[in-house]
A and B are shown apart, each in its own frame.
Chain A
Amino acid sequence: MAMTMHVDIVSAEETFYSGPAEFVAAPSILGEVGIYPRHAPMLTRIKPGSVRVKRAMSDEEDLIYVSGGILEVQPDVVTVLADSAIRGEDLDEAKAVEAKQKAEEAMKNREAVLEFARAEAELAEAIAQLSAIEKLRKKR
């Protein structure tokens, strides 16, 4: 029997694979890496791409798409910490800016509520005036 190692492929939102495997290939940031059991401890970032897992006791290979993340290798455990969202420096920055804006808008909205109430009152007054004028016209 070939040597095996335990492989976990997880993201924050779900578990993709967990079990023994004979071989794993992952798209590392410096190029694809292939890992057999008893590999030296290694920690690397991975690019978006597919991770290939050769299951123990079978010739089948599982293909799992990951949108980036971290690959941790220890002699008999391989862990892929996949990102559950599409990530990127600029994208993350845009999200941070959006979150900031939301908070600012919410702070401003306190005044907006007042504004709205005032506008509503003015509108009600205008409607009342219009209906009064119409009634007057009908009387004539």
Chain B
Amino acid sequence: MAGGKEIRTKIKSVQNTQKITRAMEMVAAAKMRKAQDRMRTARPYGEKIRNVAAHMSRAHPEYTHPFMAGRADSKRVGIIVVSSDKGLCGGLNTNVLRLVLGKIKGWEQAGVKADATAIGNKGLGFLQRLGANVVSSATGLGDTPHLDKLIGPVKVMLDAYSEGKLDALYVFYTKFINTMKQEPVMEQLLPLSSDQLGGATGVWDYIYEPDAKSVIDQVLRRYIEALIYQAVAENMASEQSARMVAMKAASDNAGNVIGELKLVYNKTRQAAITKELAEICAGAAAVG
């Protein structure tokens, strides 16, 4: 059986680990609330621009934007992978990257090539190890998502689509369902499907200023950007919740380990005392 001193140092070290995980849990809990608020404030813009895009697709103006027109066959697709910058958040990144891997393999078998945009460090590292063609990336987003940092990488993809280099565009991220549950999802961004925008009702059109083409182009680009911004905001909320849950589990596990170690420690201590007593008694009996 291990000596008393060794067990004591072990308990101490587990306690230190527990302190760290508990601190991380509390930090994540505080950040989670903010991240959720941010996710909610992003919603009105997304909904409003979706309404505008839906009206436009219903109005059938003289000009059909390439983003709305479907392509017959897809030879090359673009994927935007949203992941976290930091680790220690349970299976969050693993789950979404597993989904990405499955899809890429599926496309490979069908002879479809994939160009990737990585948002977040973990996804970038994964795509590189995989040997995927990473055309643009954005890392170090911090705790608040800023559209400013997303415009560049998204534009690379949108331009490639407009030029006809890509036939479809997908985004992968972790959807925030509630604090305990997050789900990796894949969503199609381009071509925009009409059922995504809602069915056709009513026949009326806007007055476009300066002209339909440039306004529609801007609305659709903003719409895609809003969708990606929403995905990043949700991913951040998911990240913080996942981290909080993971750190809570780690703290609980550390508590269990400490309990077990303390039991062993007390048993050895008692055994040592009993042994000493027995020796003293035996000694006294021998003298008397």
Residues on A lying within 8 angstroms of B by beta carbon are 8, 10-15, 18, 28-30, 40-45, 69-70, 72, 79, 81, 83-85, 87, 92-100, 102-103, 106-107, 110
Q: Is B102 part of the contact surface with A, judged by Cβ < 8 Å?
A: no
B222's partner among A28, A81, A106 (CB-CB below 8 A) is A81
Known: A81-B49, A96-B152. A42 touches B134 (CB 8 A): no
Q: Give the total number of A-B pairs whose CB atoms are below 8 A apart.
A: 130
**Across the interface, which residues of B come within 8 angstroms of A15, CB to CB?**
41, 44-45
Contact of A43 among B134, B159, B219 (CB under 8 A): B219
Interfacial residues, chain B to chain A (CB-CB below 8 A) = 38, 41-42, 44-46, 48-49, 51-52, 56, 117-118, 124, 128, 134-139, 146-148, 151-153, 155-156, 159, 204-210, 214-215, 218-219, 222, 225-226, 229
Q: What 6 A-B pairs are tightest by C-beta distance, nearest first?
A: A95-B152, A99-B152, A44-B209, A99-B136, A99-B153, A43-B206
A14:B156 contact, CB within 8 angstroms = no
A84 to B149, CA, bound (A): 11
**Are A41 and B204 in contact (CB-based, < 8 A)?**
yes
Set of chain B residues within 8 Å of A12, measured between Cβ atoms: 42, 45-46, 147, 225-226, 229
Contact across chains for A41 and B206 when beta carbons are under 8 A apart: yes
B185 CB to nearest chain A CB (Å) = 20
A13 and B144 CA atoms in complex are apart in Å by 10
Please give the distance in Å from A34's CB to the nearest CB on chain B: 14
Q: Are B222 and A43 in contact (CB under 8 A)?
A: no
Residue in A85, A96, A107 whose CB lies within 8 Å of B148: A85
